C-alpha cells in the first residue's frame, strides 16, 4: 500500500492498463456480444457523439459553403444560361408551330382553290368605331395588294374587300360594313342577288341580300356565295347563310338577312386574293365602289 | 392658373395634375382598345375618350380642356377609321368651349359634367354622321337612330364613373 501511495500515477496507469487488458480479453471471448462495460460506455457516449457529429456537420457545411460559394455561383450562372437557352428553344418551337399551322391553312386553301393567288396577312388593327367594321392588315401595294381585292379567311370564307392600300398596309371593309357590296348567288337555287351591308344589319353582325322577289325561294340556312359576275370578285366564295327572310314595307320585294361564315371577331390572319382565274383587272389602282 | 380664391397654383402641382390626367387618358385608351369593343349593348360599344375630355374640361377650365380635348381627339382619330382628323378638331373645340363656359359662367359639378358630356357627344355624332355618311350619300337618317343615339346614351352613362377620378385629381393636385 505504501508503494501505491508513493507511486499514485503509476498505480492508476497500471490499473487502467489492467482494465483495458481485461476488456480486450473479454472482447476476445465475447464473440460478437457487447460487454456490459462497453454497453454502458456506448450509452454514455452516444449523446456526446451525436452532438459532436452535428457540430462537425455544421462546421463542415459552413466551410463547404465558404469554399464552394464560387462554385455555386458558377453553377447558378450555368443553370441560368441553360434556362435561357431552353426558353429560347421553346419560343422557337412555338413560332415554328404557328408557322406550321399557317402553312397547313395555306395548303388547305390552295387545295380548295388552286386558281387563287393570295397573300397571307395579319390583322394589325381593328376599328374601335360603331360606324364601321374595318380591319387594317399588314400587307399592301408592295405585296401586290390593290383596292377591291377579295379577302378570305383560312377556311376560305369571305371576310371583306380591300378598300384602301398603302405600301405596307391595307384597309379591309368586312362583309358586314356599310360599304360592303358584292354580287351573290344562292347555292341551292342559283338565284342571283346583291349582298350589301347596312347600319341596321351591322348592329346585328349581319348583312342583307336585297332586291329579292316577294315570293323568293329561300330557306333558313341556305348558303350564299359570291357570284363572280363581272370578274371583280372571284366566284363561289362562301359569304354567309340565310338567317331570316322578310318582306319589305312596300310589299314589292323581300330582304334576306345573312350571317357571315367568317368569324370576324376572332380572326387573326386573313388571305388577300391578289389574282384568280377570270379576273377582270378593272379594279387595279381604282376606287372601290 | 388661378384658383377661385385667387391664389396661384404652383407649377409643380399643375405638372402633377397634368401627369395624372394623362395617365387616366392612357388607361381609358387601353380600355378602349381591349375590353370596351366586346361590351356591346344595342349593337354598339361605349366610347369613353370624348367623355373623359369633356369631364376634364368641365373641372379644369379652358386651358386643360383645350389640351386634353386635343389629346383625346388625336387618340380617337388614331383608333377610329375614316375620321380624317375630325375628332381632333371637334374635341379640341368642345374642350375649349366647355372649359371656358364652366370656368367663367356655369357650374363645375356632376350635373354639369353629365349634361356637357351628353351635349358634346350628341353633337359630335350628328356632325360625324352628316359629314361622313349623309352628305356623301352613304347612309340615310335612319343611321342616327340605329348608331348615334345608342352610342351617345351608352357611352355617356357607362362613362360617368370617369367623373370620380377627374374630381379626385382636381382635389389632390389643386
Question: Exposed/middle/buried for B113, CB within 10 Å: 0-12, 13-18, 19+?
Answer: buried
Q: Does A66 touch chain B (CB under 8 A)?
A: no
Would the pTM of this model clear 0.90, i.e. be above it?
no
The pLDDT value given to residue B5: 46
For residue B46, give the chain A residue with the closest CA: A130
Instruction: Report yes or no on B4 lying in a domain.
Output: no
Instruction: Report yes or no on B122 lying in a domain.
Output: yes
Q: How far is A68 from chain B (nearest CA, A)?
A: 50
Instruction: Report yes or no on B27 lying in a domain.
Output: no
Residue ranges of alpha helices (H) inside chain A are: 2-6, 8-30, 36-112, 199-202
Please indicate whether, in this complex, the C-beta atoms of B132 and A129 are within 8 angstroms of each other. no
User: pLDDT of A83-102, one tens digit each?
Assistant: 999 999 898 888 888 877 77
For residue A129, give the chain B residue with the closest CA: B80
Instruction: Report yes or no on B7 lying in a domain.
Output: no
- For the record, the C-alpha cell of A131 comes out as 360606324
| C-alpha R_g of chain B | 16
Nearest to A180 by CA among B40, B139, B132: B139
List of chain A residues whose C-beta atoms are within 8 Å of the C-beta of residue B138: 178-179
Please indicate whether, in this complex, the C-beta atoms of A200 and B82 are within 8 angstroms of each other. no
Please indicate whether, in this complex, the C-beta atoms of B80 and A127 are within 8 angstroms of each other. yes
Instruction: Report yes or no on B132 lying in a domain.
Output: yes
Q: How confident is the model at residue B43 (pLDDT cuts 50, 70, 90)?
A: confident
Q: What are the DSSP calls for A34-68, one per residue?
A: PPHHHHHHHHHHHHHHHHHHHHHHHHHHHHHHHHH
Q: Does B139 touch chain A (CB under 8 A)?
A: yes
User: pLDDT of B153-174, one tens digit each?
Assistant: 999 999 899 999 998 888 876 6
User: pLDDT of B95-147, one tens digit each?
Assistant: 999 888 887 777 778 888 899 999 999 999 999 999 988 888 877 888 888 88
ipTM topping 0.90: no
Q: Does A130 touch chain B (CB under 8 A)?
A: yes
Please indicate whether, in this complex, the C-beta atoms of A128 and B139 are within 8 angstroms of each other. no
User: pLDDT of A232-268, one tens digit each?
Assistant: 888 889 999 999 998 887 778 899 999 999 988 888 8
Please indicate whether, in this complex, the C-beta atoms of B44 and A178 are within 8 angstroms of each other. no
Q: Does B72 touch chain A (CB under 8 A)?
A: no
Show Cβ contacts of residue A243 under 8 Å, excluding neighbours closer than 6 positions. A206, A220, A256, A257, A258, A259
Instruction: Report yes or no on B149 lying in a domain.
Output: yes
Please indicate whether, in this complex, the C-beta atoms of A130 and B36 are within 8 angstroms of each other. no
Nearest by CB to B33, which of A128, A130, A178? A128
Please indicate whether, in this complex, the C-beta atoms of B142 and A134 are within 8 angstroms of each other. no
List of chain A residues whose C-beta atoms are within 8 Å of the C-beta of residue B147: 130-131, 199, 203
Total Cβ atoms within 10 A of residue B104 = 9
Instruction: Report yes or no on B102 lying in a domain.
Output: yes
Instruction: Report yes or no on B34 lying in a domain.
Output: no
Number of separate domains in chain B: 1
Q: What are the φ and ψ backbone dihedral angles of A270, each rounded to 5 degrees?
A: -125, 170
Query: What is the domain extent for residue B136?
Result: 45-164
Chain centroid to CA B112? 13
pLDDT by position in tens, chain A (length 289):
677 777 777 777 788 778 767 766 665 565 555 566 656 666 666 676 677 667 766 766 776 666 678 788 888 999 999 999 999 989 888 888 887 777 777 777 777 777 788 888 988 888 778 888 888 898 989 999 999 899 999 888 999 999 988 888 899 999 999 888 889 999 889 898 999 998 888 888 899 999 888 888 888 999 999 988 877 888 889 999 999 998 887 778 899 999 999 988 888 888 999 888 766 654 443 334 4
Cβ atoms of B28 and B48 within 8 Å: the answer is yes
Amino acid at each position: 500500500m505504501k508503494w501505491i501511495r508513493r507511486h499514485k500515477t503509476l498505480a492508476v496507469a497500471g490499473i487502467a492498463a489492467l482494465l483495458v487488458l481485461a476488456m480486450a480479453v473479454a472482447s476476445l471471448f465475447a464473440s460478437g456480444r457487447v460487454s456490459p462495460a462497453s454497453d454502458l460506455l456506448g450509452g454514455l457516449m452516444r449523446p456526446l457523439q451525436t452532438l459532436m457529429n452535428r457540430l462537425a456537420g455544421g462546421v463542415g457545411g459552413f466551410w463547404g459553403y465558404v469554399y464552394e460559394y464560387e462554385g455555386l455561383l458558377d453553377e447558378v450562372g450555368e443553370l441560368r444560361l441553360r434556362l435561357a437557352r431552353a426558353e429560347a428553344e421553346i419560343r422557337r418551337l412555338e413560332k415554328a408551330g404557328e408557322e406550321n399551322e399557317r402553312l397547313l391553312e395555306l395548303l388547305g386553301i390552295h387545295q380548295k382553290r388552286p386558281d387563287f393567288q393570295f397573300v397571307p396577312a395579319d390583322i394589325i388593327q381593328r376599328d374601335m368605331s360603331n360606324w364601321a367594321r374595318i380591319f387594317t392588315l399588314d400587307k399592301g401595294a408592295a405585296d401586290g395588294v390593290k383596292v377591291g381585292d377579295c379577302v378570305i379567311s383560312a377556311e376560305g370564307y369571305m371576310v371583306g374587300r380591300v378598300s384602301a392600300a398603302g405600301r405596307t398596309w391595307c384597309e379591309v371593309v368586312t362583309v358586314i360594313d356599310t360599304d360592303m357590296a358584292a354580287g351573290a348567288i344562292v347555292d341551292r337555287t342559283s338565284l342571283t342577288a346583291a349582298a350589301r351591308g347596312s347600319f341596321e344589319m351591322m348592329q346585328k353582325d349581319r348583312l342583307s341580300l336585297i332586291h329579292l322577289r316577294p315570293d323568293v325561294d329561300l330557306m333558313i340556312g341556305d348558303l350564299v356565295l359570291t357570284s363572280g359576275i363581272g370578274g371583280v370578285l372571284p366566284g363561289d366564295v362562301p359569304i354567309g347563310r340565310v338567317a331570316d327572310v322578310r318582306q319589305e314595307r312596300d310589299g314589292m320585294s323581300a330582304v334576306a338577312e345573312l350571317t357571315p361564315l367568317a368569324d370576324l371577331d376572332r380572326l387573326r390572319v386573313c388571305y388577300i386574293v391578289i389574282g384568280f382565274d377570270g379576273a377582270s383587272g378593272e379594279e387595279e389602282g381604282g376606287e372601290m365602289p | 392658373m388661378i384658383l377661385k380664391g385667387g391664389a396661384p397654383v404652383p407649377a409643380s402641382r399643375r405638372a402633377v395634375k397634368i401627369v395624372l390626367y394623362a395617365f387616366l387618358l392612357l388607361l381609358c385608351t387601353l380600355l378602349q382598345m381591349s375590353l370596351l369593343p366586346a361590351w356591346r349593348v344595342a349593337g354598339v360599344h361605349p366610347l369613353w375618350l370624348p367623355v373623359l375630355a369633356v369631364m376634364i374640361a368641365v373641372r379644369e377650365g379652358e386651358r386643360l380642356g383645350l389640351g386634353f380635348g386635343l389629346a383625346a381627339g388625336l387618340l380617337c382619330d388614331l383608333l377610329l377609321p375614316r375620321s380624317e382628323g375630325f375628332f381632333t378638331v371637334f374635341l379640341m373645340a368642345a374642350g375649349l368651349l366647355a372649359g371656358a363656359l364652366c370656368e367663367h359662367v356655369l357650374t363645375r359639378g356632376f350635373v354639369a359634367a353629365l349634361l356637357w358630356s351628353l351635349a358634346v357627344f350628341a353633337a359630335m355624332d350628328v356632325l360625324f354622321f352628316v359629314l361622313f355618311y349623309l352628305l356623301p350619300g352613304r347612309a340615310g337618317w335612319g343611321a342616327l337612330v340605329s348608331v348615334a343615339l345608342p352610342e351617345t346614351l351608352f357611352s355617356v352613362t357607362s362613362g360617368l364613373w370617369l367623373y370620380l377620378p377627374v374630381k379626385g385629381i382636381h382635389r389632390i393636385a389643386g
